[in-house]
Structure 1
């Protein structure tokens, strides 16, 4: 577990590491680049093959049972982003291990856990065979309208908070916000970042305002996450779901 620089969370916890590309939002995956850097620093839990800057081969999915005790050591309530370096609903993660991760969340109700996935079909399929802790927020990534189906899958999940991460925003996104409790929007960052359209950002913001859905604008993106700041129409948008369980925000 590590303190996080991500604006909408406090810390990260990675019971699995590794992933592979599933949609265009993965093209410039920060986790892959970070994994290569961490492996070069001697952290062997990141199994990277080749040079992600040139070949982008992905990095091996690995489960880490030794990390399951980490949240118990944190006495102060925190917002914890689960698997910033992986996807818990990747097809190579055993269902029993997913259950183990969820059990840790249930056993540490002082924390609020935020879990994000692109594997929405598996998330929906497993929803009925997992015990859902009240202090877990579950979200899906939606980078263009093509992946709006992930929102429909998310609506089938009995999570206390369902959220969307529309980051990187790569094209128009117009989704039905029924049953959605929070929306995060952000532009892409990194040397190969693709530009974000301000018109599309405002379109999503306006839909959230109209529906009463909390809206969080993370960044405009650029070579670094902070290159162009976070102001949207002269202000920051740092709204959170009202039904916050566990850690305060």
Structure 2
């Protein structure tokens, strides 16, 4: 059996992406300028139509070496439109403990009802469950995430759209934090104030929580630092040193090479 080469992701905190389905619907301010909508509209595809992608559905089985996989980068793993396929996706995840699956959602209220029947840390310790929190208004998602037994719980503060102050309870829930500004055109991008970044960095570093500063966002590319790429993600001479921090939580499970690929197919 011949397998296609799967390119590495351009997203700095993951190695690869996996989209067993595509399409989504907007639920909060972070969704306003979603890149998925922009990409699919440019291709003449309806971004609101949630569709199973058979060509990529079994992709993790075909990746020999264990790696971090951002799951549903072009959708939401817990979107109601994917309910009929999610069990099949969970089965693939269960079969491939060599990978770490980084699942990010804006629908944490659906997680409990969408977990596999045998969900537990022992069977799914290689699954990292995360939520997006863009302003103080969405901090409740962290509390919902905290109700789920999980090896790694993480939060993506991207695009960060306001100052966020976290309680000790919320900091206790978060095992890993990702920070980033918005990627958009010069005319539409929303600015992330550096003070918002600084505040969250102070909170996490002071609490000993691993922190991954992903990107400044497009605003700083266009208006201030002229960093190398329009996301403000790649390091260069003009990238502020204080934001050059990319940590991961300690994690030893999975990410191992499978010598006999046929054994998992």
TM bin (shorter chain): 0.7 to 0.9
Residue 197 of structure 1 corresponds to which residue in structure 2? 193
What is the aligned partner in structure 2 of residue 53 from structure 1?
Answer: none
In the TM superposition, residue 226 of structure 1 has moved relative to its aligned partner by: 2.7
Distance in 2 separating the partners of 1:242 and 1:227: 23
Q: Any idea what the Cα deviations from partners look like across 1:119-177, whole Å, max 9, x if unmatched?
A: 11101343474625111111000000101111011111122100000000000112221
Q: Alignment partner of 2:173: what SS?
A: coil
Q: Which residue of structure 2 lines up, in the alignment, with residue 4 of structure 1?
A: 9
Structure 1 SS opposite 2:131: strand
Q: Is the 8 A contact 2:19 2:57 kept in 1?
A: no
Q: Which residue of 2 aligns with 1:83?
A: 72
**Which residue does the alignment assign to 1:30?**
35
Report Cα offsets for 1:26-61 as digits up to 9, x if no partner: 000011112223x35xxxxxx32xxxxxxxxx5211
Query: Does structure 1 retain, via aligned residues, the 8 Å contact 2:214–2:233?
Result: no
Match of 1:140 among 106, 127, 131: 131
What is the distance in 2 between the residues matched to 1:100 and 1:118?
A: 21
The CA deviation at 1:66 is 4.7
Query: Does the 8 A contact of 1:124 with 1:154 survive in 2?
Result: no
Q: Which residue does the alignment assign to 2:175?
A: 181
Comparing both structures, which one devotes a greater share of its residues to helix?
Answer: 2
| Distance in 1 separating the partners of 2:201 and 2:233 | 21
Aligned to 1:51: none
- Give the count of matched residue pairs: 231
Q: How far, CA to CA, are the matches of 2:7 and 2:105 in structure 1?
A: 20
The TM-score with structure 2 as length reference comes to 0.80
Indicate conservation of the 8 Å contact 1:219/1:229, yes or no: no
Three-state SS of the structure 2 residue aligned to 1:245 is coil
Over 3 Å counting, the alpha-carbon distance change for 1:240 and 1:227 in structure 2 is closer
Q: Do residues 151 (structure 1) and 142 (structure 2) align?
A: yes
For residues 88-121 of structure 1, the C-alpha deviation after alignment (integer angstroms, 9 at most, x for no partner) is 1112221x52222122111111111101000111
Contact 1:106–1:134 (CA under 8 A) maintained in structure 2: no
2:231 counterpart of 1:225: yes
CA distance in structure 1 between the partners assigned to 2:90 and 2:65 by the alignment: 19
Find runs of 4+ consecutive structure 1 residues off by over 6 angstroms: none
Structure whose alpha-carbon radius of gyration is higher: 2
What is the distance in 1 between the residues matched to 2:114 and 2:89? 14
Aligned to 2:23: 18
Residue 234 of structure 1 corresponds to 242
Question: Comparing 202-211 with 232-241, which one deviates more in the overlay?
Answer: 232-241
